[in-house]
Homo-oligomer: A and B are copies of this chain.
Amino acid sequence: MGENQTSSRKLDHIRICVEEDVESEYTGLEDVMLLHNSLPELDLADIITEVRFLGSKLSAPLLIASMTGGHPDTKDINRNLAMAVEETGIGMGVGSQRAAIEDKSLEDTFSIVREHAGNAFIYANIGIPQIIKHGVEYAEKAVEMIDADALAIHLNYMQEVVQPEGDVYARNGYSAIENVVKEIKVPVIVKETGGGISNRVARKLRNCGVEAVDVGGAGGTSWTAVEFYRTKDDIGKRIAIDFWDWGIPTSFSIIECAEILPVIATGGLRSGLDVAKCIALGAEIGSSALPFLHAAMRSSDEVVKEINYFIKGLKVAMFLTGSRRVKDLRDCRIVVSGKLKEYIEVTGIDVVKFCESRNKGGFL
């Protein structure tokens, strides 16, 4: 597949994500209730949202998830994201850097991020198929291009397999990741993009030396949905519909991975309350893509506003659960119901202990 294709597909994706309904329905966060603490023993001003993550400091446990770059028209989006991230002290990822690795003329659509976010936590991004094919070379180029603090290798077979031109080879994935981990100087995150990461996969990734997972669970932007709009093929469309909601919902995936590796929660987080719920379930950080795309297409101010909305919601949830620090959310009692409770039961987790606290561990 030529670079032009990779690059122009990027634009397609953005247009579809902005114009069409591309979300799947269930994150499981709707089945989580954080238990209200009516007399929290702290002032709102006491709340500390700062966290450390992979050696960096974030003003709040929030990342803008990998989205774009790789086509000239995406440069402004990345600039707006970067400016806002720098201003608010959170972090962000860039979209897959493959196009720019293969065509240097596109590099500035990524490097603009570091230009406008000199201090922020920025992570590079490259797909697992490229890592399998090109190994450490691509990984290093991606990191260098934006002077990244970490590298995210994304797993997106769900999308590849419904894409007519998809890269549908996954063999040797773990050893390829292991190699990158050994050679590269920054921490490696492995990141799903809508399918979620299971306990078994998380264990294998830990054994490869991966330092965090971004669960990328079902419930938010669905890449089979995006491909539904792109494909012209009749069978392709029907397959895309059948697999629209495929994947481990974000809430399930957090529980699957929380005791294995530090977890970034992505997939359908649409508010600071969602971030708080993810952290209460066991994640370290919440992350979101789609809402920030909408904002970034307007201005960096809009992105700042969206970030502030997320942080405000997180703070409200922390205040109303009496959580001074972010990790205190994990000691907050929760009530799970519906499908999430069913998942916990069939997985053999002790639901009573789980609801009491996710800090004591040993629930999986």
Contact = CB atoms under 8 A, between A and B. Distances in A.
Interface of A: 33, 35-46, 128, 155, 157-158, 161-162, 168-171, 173-174, 190, 192, 195-198, 200-201, 204-205, 218, 234-235, 238-239, 242-243, 246-248, 252, 271-273, 305, 308-309, 312-313, 316, 319-320, 333, 335-339, 341-343, 345-348, 351-352, 354-356
B39 A204 contact: yes
A321 to B, nearest CB: 10
Contacts of A348: 352, 356
A210 to B, nearest CB: 11
Given A238-B271, A308-B235, A342-B341, A173 B319 contact: no
B246 A198 contact: no
Given A39-B170, A168-B44, A335 B341 contact: no
B173 A39 contact: yes
Contacts of A333: 198, 200
Given A158-B320, A171-B41, A171-B46, A337 B343 contact: yes
B38 A201 contact: yes
Number of copies: 4
A153 to B, nearest CB: 10
Query: Which of A36, A43, A169, A192 has the most chain B CB atoms closer than 10 A to its own CB?
Result: A36
Contact of A345 (B40, B170, B351): B351
A188 B36 CA distance: 22
> Which 5 pairs across A and B sit closest by C-beta, in order of nearness?
A44-B168, A43-B169, A348-B352, A38-B155, A337-B342
Contacts of A40: 157, 170, 173
Contacts of A343: 335, 337
Contacts of A246: 36, 320
Contacts of A158: 36, 320
Nearest to A337: B342
A226 to B, nearest CB: 16
Given A37-B198, A174-B41, A352 B347 contact: yes
A11 to B, nearest CB: 26
A259 B333 CA distance: 19
A143 B308 CA distance: 42
